[in-house]
Structure 1
């Protein structure tokens, strides 16, 4: 039930937070509640979920990935209660366009339509980078296997395929040679179509990019407010190898945190896409002085990166992101130079087969801040590289300075391997059947 006392204290307005109910985004709710002087509402197709009941002041019943439905739900709620949104804040990728649609209807601050057209399509994004001189891979679009073959002839091998409309590494795959194009096309297309019913995606929208070899990939969180852009943090990504390059974990601060050229390229990329509010997530390949922007998302990074940044630097990117959307951000902080410690995450990944048992959590060390299994008995381990293949998450923090990131990365990865063995029993192999995860 809506907290009407909170609503009355804020002139019958509320903040609508979209996408904070999924794993590793939950602390956005904490930020909204402590930065907004009124009720904080969420939206869900199942409002009776425990998260909705216990953390939001009220949860609207609707699909926050569907702009038309979300706007209709907000309008109906206004008719019933007289309450209107004061700000609409996107937290995950597939709520960005929805936040723009709802905010535009109510005349609220939001990203521009031109910005939206650039950040939600990897093709128009790359074109904007090229116009602005932001370093990035050459690319071509395709919708069919024949079009992919033509793109490959122009780009050469190796190349990388990905859907134009999604995130989370879904459908991304390396193609080393021409004879592997058909299988790679099927993988890329099949991965998109698996999630298409949920997000209303269309078939035939794919992209091929030249493969940029680099020893390191980082993400840069860039905050925007009142005409300023400030880098909040640089994160080292732990990546699996070819052909999927799936993300296996994150680490803050990055060994590239003092790389001024990197930070400048990140802000240039956001400027090229016309991002002017909130926190944006910029992914960049680093090979010495050679940089290549992979893509930019006009919302905070996922996978618990915001939580790592808050632990390490004491500043919550979610606070800044949300305050920018409801206009109560005083100023952006300077780039932090002195960390409180080092933080990292590692995803639990079970071997191929079927999960037959999930045991109680083992005792953990003082540096393990969270251990959260997500796989259930009966789930089948996936060999593909997207977020759908994860079985859980380990979060880690070591206070103080002087930590070697390479040593910490190895320690966290080993802990994740041990915890996976302690928690899960997996039987069979890649062909034993079972329920796909």
Structure 2
């Protein structure tokens, strides 16, 4: 099989998808935005062909690159794993008559209001929502549903550009700053109280063959707005043993069926609170923030190869051991500026050294990134441990002990 992979260079773990395809026996070509000589030492030896384009979201350029690669060697699949690439790649794929995620499915996984409408029709419990660019209609929605509300880009990912709105005056003031009334559209939804987590799968023909459950502490919106917390997410190894996860798995199956997801990775966010389990949103792609690295470390498997085996051979090669839980703790600089040093690392090493997966510590002099830039924007540390509760306590301790100094 000849697979064309879209954008192999950025983010950094993109090359592992190419590696996985190569290792399971596929011929691999790629379309990317960097010149060939910028791909590093590994990618060129895994690739059969490479085409550079100005933007992989430019469907015309992507289609021309696909045609050029196909001219050298017939193409069987066109794949992407980054949220912003999923829909344009689906359109080019469908126009070329290749198998894979359909335009309909890609659209529903990208357009949050359309997604929630389709899922409500399928009986999936989810927040009330709407999408549009009419400020008066949005304000009427707020009056009907009540506050607080969540306002986000219609095709956003994660907490990027997401706002919690407490009342009508705040909503009315926010909308023009987001371009509403000037051609822009937003997604607006009921705010759901509860614990936030995510459920990730690999599917073959709509059947889940691998799945993983991960918890946020605290919820994402707070984590991406509050410097004083050291946010975590933790992948549990109790997914098969804890009864409440069966309900999440059933919810996930309903979503996969309703959106007609075939052979793909998925990333689903959910909440659990006083009103029970509520679905939040789905991406027809792997999770971000290198969550797959945690799953691999926790389950002693190469998840990139497993994804490739699903795409190329329609089967899996490994099973998750569930031996460990694994998590990341974000270490925030005390202020914006430049990193000057770290405190508390020796204590972490002496107490938890055997459980450390890896650590990222930008060198002194490195400019800090803003809090809202995400879990891996500055310093971070990842751990694994056989006991979930013990791991959570360890990550809490790291967040208390380590200080990232900046000036």
State whether TM-score is above 0.5. yes
**How far, CA to CA, are the matches of 2:157 and 2:285 in structure 1?**
12
2:223 and 2:231 in contact (8 A); partners too: no
Corresponding residue number in structure 2 for 1:207: 187
Which whole-Å deviations, capped at 9, do the CAs of 1:169-191 have from their partners, x for residues lacking one?
A: 1111211222322454467x28x
**How far, CA to CA, are the matches of 2:323 and 2:173 in structure 1?**
47
Q: How many correspondences in the alignment?
A: 390
**Which runs of no fewer than 5 residues in structure 1 stay unpaired?**
1-9, 193-201, 428-437
Choose the corresponding residue for 1:330, options 304, 315, 323: 315
Corresponding residue number in structure 2 for 1:370: 358
Choose the corresponding residue for 1:301, options 284, 287, 297: 287
Taking structure 1 as reference, are residues 303 and 380 closer, same or farther at Cα in structure 2, changes over 3 Å only? closer
Taking structure 1 as reference, are residues 26 and 76 closer, same or farther at Cα in structure 2, changes over 3 Å only? closer
**How far, CA to CA, are the matches of 1:203 and 1:357 in structure 2?**
44
1:352 and 1:382 in contact (8 A); partners too: no
**How far, CA to CA, are the matches of 1:329 and 1:161 in structure 2?**
39
Please state whether the residue corresponding to 2:247 is helix, strand or coil.
Answer: helix
**How far, CA to CA, are the matches of 2:92 and 2:118 in structure 1?**
26
Corresponding residue number in structure 2 for 1:30: 19
Alignment of 1:19-418 (within 5 A): 21-41=10-30, 43-49=32-38, 51-56=39-44, 57-58=46-47, 59-62=50-53, 63-79=55-71, 82-143=72-133, 145-182=135-172, 184-185=174-175, 189=178, 204-214=184-194, 216-240=195-219, 248-253=231-236, 258=242, 259-287=245-273, 290-326=276-312, 328-331=313-316, 339-357=322-340, 364=349, 365-373=353-361, 377=365, 379=367, 381-383=369-371, 385-387=372-374, 390-398=377-385, 401=386, 403=387, 405-416=388-399, 418=401
**How far, CA to CA, are the matches of 2:281 and 2:4 in structure 1?**
28
Please state whether the residue corresponding to 2:325 is helix, strand or coil.
Answer: strand
Taking structure 1 as reference, are residues 151 and 345 closer, same or farther at Cα in structure 2, changes over 3 Å only? same
1:18 and 1:88 in contact (8 A); partners too: no
Which whole-Å deviations, capped at 9, do the CAs of 1:252-281 have from their partners, x for residues lacking one?
A: 216665321111001111211111111111
CA shift at 1:300, angstroms? 1.1
2:325 and 2:384 in contact (8 A); partners too: yes
CA shift at 1:217, angstroms? 1.6
**How far, CA to CA, are the matches of 1:71 and 1:265 in structure 2?**
36
CA shift at 1:245, angstroms? 5.6
CA shift at 1:241, angstroms? 6.9
Taking structure 1 as reference, are residues 243 and 235 closer, same or farther at Cα in structure 2, changes over 3 Å only? closer
Taking structure 1 as reference, are residues 128 and 14 closer, same or farther at Cα in structure 2, changes over 3 Å only? closer
Bigger shift: residues 16-25 or 276-285: 16-25
RMSD (Å), alpha carbons: 3.4
CA shift at 1:42, angstroms? 5.0
Taking structure 1 as reference, are residues 85 and 373 closer, same or farther at Cα in structure 2, changes over 3 Å only? farther
**Which runs of no fewer than 5 residues in structure 2 stay unpaired?**
none
2:101 and 2:264 in contact (8 A); partners too: no
Q: Output the TM-score relative to the length of structure 2.
A: 0.83
CA shift at 1:357, angstroms? 4.1
Please state whether the residue corresponding to 1:95 is helix, strand or coil.
Answer: helix
CA shift at 1:378, angstroms? 6.4
Q: Output the TM-score relative to the length of structure 1.
A: 0.78
**How far, CA to CA, are the matches of 1:387 and 1:137 in structure 2?**
24
Which whole-Å deviations, capped at 9, do the CAs of 1:139-169 have from their partners, x for residues lacking one?
A: 1223254443222112211111111112031
Bigger shift: residues 354-363 or 300-309: 354-363
Which whole-Å deviations, capped at 9, do the CAs of 1:347-383 have from their partners, x for residues lacking one?
A: 3322332125478996642322221246984635424
